[in-house]
């Protein structure tokens, strides 16, 4: 069984993380380990009609954001990687600077040090130079920056079609099969 850590931080766009958890819940070969930041809990209440408990119920295992002794804080706990969806600029900075003051940042740091896949979905615009430098630092350490930039070749009809395309791109990074969007098959130029 593949284990995947899913972090939700306090950025707008919590729907991306919720949708990722919903999709993964239906994939029997993936065990999800959720870290929900305090900021994510606030954003969840502001942007959705979901309760914190209902989102936690989507994960196989839930780890407290302040529990630095959790299994996912150690490199000896084997996981396929970690996705932070959405990734706030605060969490991005903590990860880029290895500031392990909470479990989300610590688990991301461990993911990088163990050379496992770390995917961050930053949800901020516009970006200033500090944001870009932190993204560069994470990329230089082996992380993947995956902004929720929609494509339109698959003909999205709803907001959830756009969300699904980004969630599908995250799943692609971990080689998890899905049918969330129609893949590009070529066209006439």
Handedness of CA 30, 103, 78, 62 (dihedral sign): negative
Tell whether 169 is in a known binding site. Answer: yes
For the segment 137-141, the average pLDDT, to the nearest whole number, is 98
Work out whether strand 30-36 and strand 117-122 pair parallel, antiparallel, or are unpaired. unpaired
Tell whether 25 is in a known binding site. Answer: no
User: Tens of pLDDT along 168-186?
Assistant: 999 999 999 999 998 888 8
Tell whether 151 is in a known binding site. Answer: no
3-state secondary structure of 124: coil
CA 145 to chain centre: 10
| Domains, the chain, with CATH or none | 2-128+141-174 (3.40.50.1950)
For the segment 160-166, the average pLDDT, to the nearest whole number, is 97
- Give the whole-angstrom CA distance, residue 162 versus residue 173: 18
Tell whether 90 is in a known binding site. Answer: yes
- CB atoms closer than 10 angstroms to residue 159: 10
Q: Binning pLDDT at 50, 70 and 90, where does residue 79 land?
A: very high
Give percent above pLDDT 90 in the chain.
Answer: 94
């Amino acid at each position: 069984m593949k284990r995947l850590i899913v972090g939700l931080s306090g950025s707008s766009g919590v729907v991306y993380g919720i949708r990722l958890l919903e999709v993964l819940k239906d994939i029997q070969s993936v065990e999800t380990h959720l870290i929900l930041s305090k900021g994510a809990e606030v954003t969840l209440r502001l942007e959705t009609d979901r309760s914190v408990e209902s989102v936690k119920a989507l994960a196989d295992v839930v780890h407290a954001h302040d529990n630095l002794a959790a299994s996912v804080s150690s490199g000896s706990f084997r996981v396929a990687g970690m996705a932070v969806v959405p990734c706030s600029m605060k969490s991005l900075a903590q990860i880029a600077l290895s500031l392990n003051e909470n479990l989300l940042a610590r688990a991301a740091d461990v993911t990088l040090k163990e050379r496992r896949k770390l995917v961050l979905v930053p949800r901020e615009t516009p970006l200033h130079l500090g944001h870009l430098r932190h993204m560069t630092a994470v990329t230089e350490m082996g992380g993947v920056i995956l902004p929720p930039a929609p494509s339109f070749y698959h003909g999205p009809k709803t907001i959830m079609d756009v969300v699904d395309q980004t969630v599908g791109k995250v799943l692609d990074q971990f080689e998890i099969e899905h049918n969330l969007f129609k893949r590009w098959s070529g066209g006439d130029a």
